[in-house]
Chains A and B, each alone.
Chain A
Amino acid sequence: MASSSDVTSSSDNTPENPESGSTRRGRVRARRVAVMAVPATLVAGTLAVLTAEGALGVQFAISGMPFTVTATELNGTGFEQFGGLDHMAPGSPNEGDTGGQVLVVTSAIKNATLTKLCQSVDLGGTNLLITAGAGKDKVTATDLTTDSTELSGDAAFGNIEIGNDASTLTKAGVKGPIGVFSQQADTVFIKDLRQTNYATTAGVFKLPGLKLRFSSSGC
């Protein structure tokens, strides 16, 4: 093959016969692209596989667009909940008739385990669907903080304290604004969880059995 001569001529950056005039310009050489593209694809594939096996945790931080999270079971330790106001960036297209502010319930869970997690983001017309944890391995999340406009499910709390001031919360390490009603609990168990979230952050999310796809219907 003529590949060896081609590679050497392109790697030392000097053209072979420099007399060809004004049409010379920079070009993308396919072989040089392949030198980087092949390992990069392998690494990307490895990352995706490791994440889908639950060996690798990923971080999430989404806000400014409403999205739905459902799970058949949520088991958590260190739970806090308080009310708050979420602000959008000025002129955000999601603003609608809200005046750029949404009333939200902030829930923070120190360590959470979710079964059959399904998360959908409405991208206008089509939905991005993320499902995980359907097999025997569960989704785990640490420092999970969500701002939800809607939250439903059958909940059971252990050692709950209701009516604290939001600024004195201790269980999940997040403090709310002073003078706001709040509650906290040592453990939380929610069955058939359904949340419409406005913002979520998770320190580390482990998503075994991850599937990412576009769909016409949400969760």
Chain B
Amino acid sequence: MSERQGFRPAFRRWRADRPFWGGALLALGGAWILLTMKASLKVVLQVGMQGLAGYLLPALMVVLGLLVLFNPAQRLFYSITGVLVSLGTWLTSNLGGFFVGLLLGVVGSCLAFGWLPDQEPRRSRRERRKEAATAP
């Protein structure tokens, strides 16, 4: 029991210093596309390089999503690559897993891109405006 209580705040702290939802959604999108493909490898090899790309792109999405989670310092590179790869799956992998996987991937990449570490706690807009008016 005490282990559990220790785990949740630790997880929250771990989540606070990385773009958690960005990485999670990107990896989830890739996994969903792979799920809709699921074609046997034999058929893919018959189709050739193009068929292989259909697997490569969603697999790359999963890897990039996990990298965003476990190496958040490089999130800019991962999220830019992630958004390009997600958009590429429209062409290669069942219209981006019937659009669902593509949407998850793009939203995840954007969240990872927009994330910044070590921010002020949220304040209301009125408060910020007042401060900006009085500052200079």
Residues of chain A whose beta carbon lies under 8 Å from any beta carbon of chain B: 2, 5, 10, 13, 15-17, 20, 23-37, 40-41, 43-44, 47-48, 51, 56-64, 86-87, 89, 121, 128, 130, 143, 145, 173-174, 199, 201, 203-204, 212
Given contacts A33-B111, A35-B113, A199-B40, contact A23 B51 (CB under 8 A): no
Contact A128 B98 (CB under 8 A): yes
Q: Specify which chain B residues have a CB less than 8 angstroms from the CB of A62 in the assembled complex.
A: 36-39, 94
Given contacts A24-B119, A25-B17, contact A2 B132 (CB under 8 A): yes
Number of chain B interface residues as a range: 35 or more
Can you list 26 A-B contacts with CB-CB less than 8 angstroms, sorted by A residue number?
A: A2-B129, A16-B120, A25-B16, A26-B16, A26-B18, A27-B119, A27-B122, A33-B114, A34-B114, A36-B83, A40-B83, A57-B91, A59-B91, A60-B94, A61-B44, A61-B51, A61-B54, A62-B37, A62-B94, A63-B37, A173-B46, A199-B40, A199-B43, A201-B39, A201-B44, A212-B98
Number of A-B contacts (CB under 8 A): 150
Question: Given the complex of chains A and B, what is the CA–CA distance between A10 and B115 in angstroms?
Answer: 10
Contact B115 A26 (CB under 8 A): yes
Question: Given the complex of chains A and B, what is the CA–CA distance between A130 and B94 in angstroms?
Answer: 11
Q: Specify which chain B residues have a CB less than 8 angstroms from the CB of A35 in the assembled complex.
A: 113-114
Contact B47 A143 (CB under 8 A): yes
Given contacts A2-B132, A24-B121, contact A59 B93 (CB under 8 A): yes
Given contacts A40-B106, A59-B50, A59-B93, contact A15 B118 (CB under 8 A): yes
Contact B91 A58 (CB under 8 A): yes
Question: Given the complex of chains A and B, what is the CA–CA distance between A17 and B120 in angstroms?
Answer: 9
Q: Find residues 17-70 in chain B having any chain A CB closer than 8 Å to their own CB.
A: 17-19, 21-22, 36-40, 43-44, 46-48, 50-51, 53-54
Q: Specify which chain A residues have a CB less than 8 angstroms from the CB of B43 in the assembled complex.
A: 61, 63, 145, 199, 201
Interface string of B90-109 (1 = CB under 8 A from A): 11111100110010001001
Question: Given the complex of chains A and B, what is the CA–CA distance between A126 and B65 in angstroms?
Answer: 30
**Option from A29, A37, A199, A204 in Cβ contact (under 8 Å) with B39:** A199
Contact A201 B90 (CB under 8 A): no
Closest to A46 in B: B87
Question: Given the complex of chains A and B, what is the CA–CA distance between A117 and B128 in angstroms?
Answer: 56
Given contacts A201-B44, A212-B99, contact A32 B114 (CB under 8 A): yes
Contact A25 B90 (CB under 8 A): no
Question: Given the complex of chains A and B, what is the CA–CA distance between A100 and B110 in angstroms?
Answer: 40
Contact B106 A44 (CB under 8 A): yes
Closest to B55 in A: A61
Question: Given the complex of chains A and B, what is the CA–CA distance between A61 and B51 in angstroms?
Answer: 8
